[in-house]
């Protein structure tokens, strides 16, 4: 094979594609003792209510140190882009225990979320009290060409995969905490509004808040109040945007 073709292939692999990032991230997961699958297929229903096949880059699992006999499951999408990703960070901190995504919607006929709150589990979780971002865009691009589509597609992909596994494993005996993660090989910045202007700071790890509205409101029973429930109209999800160079340290914080 001519050397120039080999070089062209190498250059193409390294240019704005997430596949090499996925391979490198998998090697880090293996080093840190995680079980994982590469490029598993899952299905969702499209706008025409037909099954559509999708692929997520990595699904990784590890025993939880937070709850006995529970598991952490990372649903990971990998991206690479030369243009920086910018996220607008809010001043308030995450104190909503419903931002966790356990597989059991109910536990012993009681809300799993309320059970998590009553047992102080959420306050020990790495989501707790994290400052959240709510808006984002890809920097240094032409805004007329939909510059945020790369982030939007990654967020949609990782959430669709999470919801698929969430429903699939709802009846599993083990308690599983799902974490949607985007591993990004590129520069991440946070825009923070202070003193009537935006300050820009480089970042290794951003927690992006996405609220998904329910098609129909759902009743969530209380753990410690038999027969009492509350209505939920939306489910908050935390999507963690992790810079590839920080991914190994991020895994330590999850464990």
At what angle are helices 19-31 and 3-14 packed, to 10 degrees?
70
Q: Which of 57, 125, 129, 42 is nearest to 92 (CA)?
A: 129
pLDDT of 9-60, one tens digit each? 877 777 657 889 999 999 999 999 999 999 999 988 877 778 889 999 999 9
Give the bridge partners for 52, in sequence order. Answer: 44
Q: What angle do CA 33, 37, 39 make, to 5 degrees?
A: 140
pLDDT of 207-237, one tens digit each? 999 998 877 777 776 666 767 777 778 889 9
CA distance 88 to 199: 10
Q: Among 53-62, 130-139, 163-172, 218-227, which stretch is predicted with the lowest mean pLDDT?
A: 218-227
What is the sign of the dihedral through the CA atoms of 138, 80, 129 and 171?
positive
Pair of tokens at residue 140: 């240094």
Binned at pLDDT 50, 70 and 90, residue 107 comes out as: low
pLDDT at residue 255 greater than cutoff 90: no
DSSP 8-class letter at 140: S
CA distance 208 to 89: 8
CA distance 60 to 239: 15
DSSP 8-class letter at 84: P
Beta sheet of 85-93, edge-to-edge order:
35-38, 58-63, 70-80, 175-185, 229-243, 205-221, 131-138, 85-93, 188-194, 197-203
User: Which three-class secondary structure state does DSSP give residue 44?
Assistant: strand
Range of the domain at 44: 3-254
Report the percentage of the chain scoring pLDDT > 70. Answer: 91
The tally of domains found in the chain comes to: 1
Q: Which of 211, 158, 149 is nearest to 182 (CA)?
A: 158
Pair of tokens at residue 52: 């559509």
DSSP 8-class letter at 109: T
Gap between the terminal Cα atoms of the chain: 45
pLDDT at residue 165 greater than cutoff 80: yes
214 by Cβ neighbours in 10 Å (0-12 / 13-18 / 19+) ranks as exposed
């Amino acid at each position: 094979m001519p050397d120039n073709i080999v070089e062209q292939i190498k250059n193409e692999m390294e240019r704005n594609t997430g596949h090499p990032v996925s391979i490198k991230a998998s090697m880090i997961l293996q080093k840190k003792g995680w079980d994982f699958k590469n490029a598993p297929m899952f299905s969702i229903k499209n706008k025409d209510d037909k099954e559509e096949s999708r692929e997520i880059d990595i699904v990784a699992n590890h025993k939880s140190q937070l709850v006995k006999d529970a598991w952490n499951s990372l649903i990971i999408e990998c991206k690479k882009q030369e243009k920086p990703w910018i996220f607008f960070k809010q001043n308030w901190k995450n104190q909503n225990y419903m931002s966790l995504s356990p597989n059991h919607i109910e536990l012993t006929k009681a809300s799993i979320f309320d059970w998590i709150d009553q047992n102080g589990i959420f306050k020990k979780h790495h989501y707790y009290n994290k400052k959240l971002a709510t808006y984002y865009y890809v920097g240094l691009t032409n805004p007329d060409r939909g510059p945020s589509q790369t982030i939007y597609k990654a967020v949609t992909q990782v959430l669709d995969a999470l919801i698929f596994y969430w429903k699939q494993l709802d009846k599993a005996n083990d308690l599983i905490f799902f974490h949607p993660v985007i591993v990004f090989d590129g520069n991440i910045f946070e825009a923070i509004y202070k003193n009537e202007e935006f300050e820009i700071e480089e970042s290794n790890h951003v927690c992006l808040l996405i609220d998904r509205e329910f098609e129909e409101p759902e009743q969530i029973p209380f753990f410690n109040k038999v027969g009492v429930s509350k209505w939920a109209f939306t489910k908050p999800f935390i999507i963690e945007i992790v810079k590839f160079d920080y991914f190994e340290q991020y895994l330590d914080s999850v464990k």
